Amino acid sequence: MEVAQQQQSEPIGQEDENEIVTENAAFVHGDPPQVGDGPPKVDSEVEVLHEKVTKQIIKEGHGQKPSKYSTCFLHYRAWTESTQHKFEDTWHEQRPIEMIIGKEKKEMAGLAIGVSNMKAGERALLHVGSELGYGKEGSFSFPNVPPSADIIYEIELIGFDETKEGKARGDMTAEERIGAADRRKMDGNALFKEEKLEEAMQQYEMAVAYLGDDFMFQLFGKYRDMALAVKNPCHLNMAACLIKLKRYEEAIGQCSIVLGEDENNVKALFRRGKARAELGQTDAAREDFQKARKYAPEDKAIARELRLIAQHEKAVYQKQKEIYKGIFGPAPQPKPRQNRLWQCLIIMWQWLLSIFYRLFKREGHKSD
- The tens digit of pLDDT for each residue in 152-204 reads 999 999 888 876 556 677 788 899 889 988 988 888 788 777 777 677 777 88
238 in the same domain as 208 = yes
Residue 98 lies in a domain: yes
As to burial, measured by CB atoms within 10 angstroms (0-12 exposed, 13-18 middle, 19+ buried), residue 139 is middle
pLDDT beyond 80 at 48:
yes
- Our count of domains for the chain comes to 2
Q: Give residue 79's domain range.
A: 47-161
Angstrom CA distances, 260 to 267, 268, 274, stand at: 13, 10, 18
Domain end among 139, 161, 183: 161
Within this chain, do residues 23 and 172 fall inside the same structural domain, yes or no? yes
**95 inside domain:** yes
Answer yes or no: do 263 and 180 share one domain.
yes
| pLDDT exceeds cutoff 90 at 249 | yes
How far apart, in whole angstroms, are the C-alpha atoms of residue 56 and residue 41?
10
What letter would DSSP give residue 87?
A: E
For residue 185, which of 202, 171, 163, 162 has the smallest C-alpha distance? 202
Does 175 reside within a domain?
yes
Q: How far apart are CA 44 and CA 55, in angstroms?
A: 9
Q: Which residue has the higher pLDDT, 107 or 320?
A: 107
Residues 213 and 257 in one domain: yes
Structure pTM?
A: 0.62
> How far from 63 is each of 66, 154, 198, 304, 305, CA to CA, in Å?
10, 20, 11, 41, 40
- At residue 317, φ and ψ (nearest 5 deg) are -65, -45
Let me know if residue 38 belongs to a domain.
no
Residue 228 forms part of a structural domain = yes
Q: In terms of domains, do 175 and 150 share one?
A: no
Asked whether residue 243 falls in the same domain as residue 207, the answer is yes
- Shared domain for 234 and 182, answered yes or no, is yes
Is 200 domain-assigned? yes
* Pair (194, 278) in one structural domain: yes
* The predicted structure's pLDDT at residue 250: 85
Give the sign of the dihedral formed by CA 182, CA 187, CA 190, CA 194: negative
Instruction: Return d(Cα 302, Cα 267) in angstroms, integer.
Output: 10
pLDDT score for 245: 77
Domain boundary among 146, 161, 176: 161
Flag whether 363 is in a domain.
no
DSSP state, 161?
E
Residue-wise pLDDT tens digits, 295-351 = 999 999 999 999 999 988 888 777 777 777 656 555 555 555 556 677 777 888 787
Phi and psi at residue 20, in whole multiples of 5°?
-90, 120
Report which residue type is found at 22.
T
Q: What does the pLDDT read at residue 2?
A: 36
Residue 251 in any domain: the answer is yes
Q: Please give the average per-residue pLDDT across 218-229, as a whole number.
A: 90
Beta bridge partners of 78: 88, 153
CATH code of the domain covering residue 242? 1.25.40.10
